[in-house]
Chains A and B, each alone.
Chain A
């Protein structure tokens, strides 16, 4: 039995009261994470601390680097050398990592970046939660690209979605963002551990000699460093054999369109939303992450008063599940959008829905109270 299986099997079925940050770290361990490169930052430091403690116990390597630029770079290097690799940060660090997240997208490097969002811009309210990185996760790096981003709303989901993130990173050979927020990261709730099985380890499709590993199919197999295939990995525009070619229009066009299409064409398969009471809903509350908790509370409270309120939350944020939302919300008259930013989800919803979309933005570092959503919801239902 591997060190990982030996350690994690002791947790089978255990119920633990833990932080969202710690739950994410354990999700990474179950997914086979073998390298963590990080730099301390509130409110993500508890992920690094949990990884520093637990990762060596399953035979993996934790390194604290000199900054976030180095952390994400080492995470990508480690991935090419065979690791399932992870870094965790918050807004300011996430901003610093953007260039190399673009490198990971361009070189099709599977890796997971956790951003435990805090109040910005800049240093903002460093210890307070926010959801202001929704669009940064999508558009933070320069140039055309697609990204996969997930958003947990509970401690249990911090574990579950981290596991999911590693699998998606390998499946699509892409960086995957776990967009947590400080409210969920710093929450303690019960976490139920699953029984560890080898199938949970994110599988990597490897290239055989002669196979193209930077083209030829939507998601090509990966040739790792050390495989003896003389792999050439570059963030510059490259041909399907990996060799740099920065002057050819068709080479760039084909590469970047394929990189985008491999994710955007899988939009439906990648869609994960959770909803309640939409069958007869007149007004729906649509949210994500921590904010979806008081949002659902408000919808349930409105329902108890005999109203036709509905609820939907995005479990996966990017690629944006526009078609699914249009289907599920096609009959509602109005959508309310509570979020801890000034309308970043609202903007996307306006783009894909025909009905009226009303922002319920809140900033300042305090999550929405149920009442703050219930009141406008009842008003809208009147």
Chain B
């Protein structure tokens, strides 16, 4: 233990008690504002009588992230560059009882991590974020930051900065932060008060501390001593109330200080936890994945369709049409029924925009055997519901396979020699059932009757389980109409 750290009975300052033993002196440059921020923060924690064991410090990468890491004596998560708020959000959700505090720099929070900053503010997640704004990337040696004033020469703007800086406190207030304040390292008493208010606030609280970097920024602007910076901050600072009376020109070069926003709004973590408590209550209604109809699971057996000369042990079917015809739903119900019957079953479908408008397919393989083809390209049964699908897929029908098509929508090539079964499915759905939307069930019924690929009762149970509540009867009638058409 160095002499600096030797505890003196009765005279120990708040900072000394709240600092991890064995680490002083800090690595900060002479005159750095980081020490002032650490001191003011310790004072705020002490005055609020917060237990540091109930606090988590989360930081990013940069000099300012080293203010709490490793010095502040609490659980500390020193994260990747820019992501401190995101890491802190995960901690906050899982640790409702602890104070979660982010201390990081302007580059970390408003540059590389800017997206997390505005979204955390939008969520109003209960975090206290202290942004130490020294207007430069200090740790990497003085490169321009999103907060660097215009015209300042830095190592990466050697001819002067041609970008305007962010007003980060205003940005956070606009994004939804519910407590937002800005002070400078000159305003130490106001800083302690702001930190206390932020720590006591429920919701996203943000304190911007305009702070001196005597090394990198000092070099850029020709000020090497902390006292020069503090005098400058004193001279340029304006209370918000005073600033409100001035014009934009008069505010040029000024630092407006004070509390920009302090409102009460619903907090994210509380809302999320309340929702989870409600949903996980055993009394709440369960809506799981589509249930398999009870009692429908039988021992595996060969598909009945084999008897009708479908060939092979496994049967591959493709339903094809355009998006909106319910092609995917028909495939799902067939697969569900097979699964309930204890068959092996595999179903695949088209994804993306084509499934919602263009060419659309749903493939189902049923069988007693292991299914190896996960994306079959030859089918025992092909169901075509559009002329486009006929053009695209007719060649995929295996020799001796069964073709089913909508007679009104698909014109088959002449002299094709296919085992083709046509049905005016769309017309039956529209005219006999009054709802074109059940075309898929008419086709499924027809297909079931022609191929005998699965027992009728199994498919009917799967329909009931898989169509929207209240439409079961309509869908079953459509299935029956298709089934009956096969006999006509």
Contact = CB atoms under 8 A, between A and B. Distances in A.
Interface of A: 3, 6-7, 10-11, 14-18, 22, 34-35, 37, 42-43, 53-54, 56-61, 63, 65-67, 69-71, 73-83, 85, 99-100, 103, 126-127, 183-184, 186-190, 225-236, 243-244, 290, 293-294, 296-298, 300, 366-367, 369-370
B28 interface: no
A10 B336 CA distance: 19
A26 B288 CA distance: 11
A99 B61 CA distance: 13
Contact of B339 (A7, A35, A190): A190
A370 B179 CA distance: 62
Given A83-B90, A243-B70, A367-B375, A103 B292 contact: no
Given A100-B80, A235-B79, A61 B374 contact: no
Contacts, number: 229
Contacts of A235: 78-80
Given A17-B335, A57-B280, A235-B80, 9 more contacts: A22-B289, A43-B351, A73-B83, A76-B90, A77-B86, A78-B90, A78-B94, A188-B345, A226-B75
Contacts of A236: 78
Interface of B: 20, 23, 53, 56, 58, 69-70, 73-80, 82-83, 86-91, 93-95, 97-98, 115-116, 119, 272-273, 275-276, 279-282, 284, 286-292, 297, 332, 335-336, 338-340, 342, 344-349, 351-352, 370-377
A231 B332 CA distance: 50
Closest 8 CB pairs of A and B: A297-B372, A77-B90, A74-B90, A78-B90, A73-B86, A81-B94, A77-B87, A70-B86
A251 to B, nearest CB: 14
Nearest to B362: A188
B21 to A, nearest CB: 10
Contacts of B89: 63, 65, 70, 73-74, 77
Contacts of A71: 86
A215 to B, nearest CB: 16
B346 A187 contact: yes
B67 to A, nearest CB: 13
A159 to B, nearest CB: 12
Given A35-B93, A186-B351, A234-B69, A66 B119 contact: yes
17 contacts: A14-B291, A15-B292, A17-B340, A35-B93, A35-B94, A42-B351, A70-B119, A73-B83, A73-B90, A75-B90, A189-B347, A229-B75, A233-B77, A235-B79, A293-B373, A298-B372, A370-B373
Contacts of B347: 17, 187-189
B83 A225 contact: no
Scoring B58, B95, B97 by chain A CB atoms within 10 A of each residue's CB, the highest score goes to: B95
A293 to B, nearest CB: 5
Contacts of B70: 232, 234, 243-244
Contacts of B284: 57
A298 B281 CA distance: 50
A244 B90 contact: no
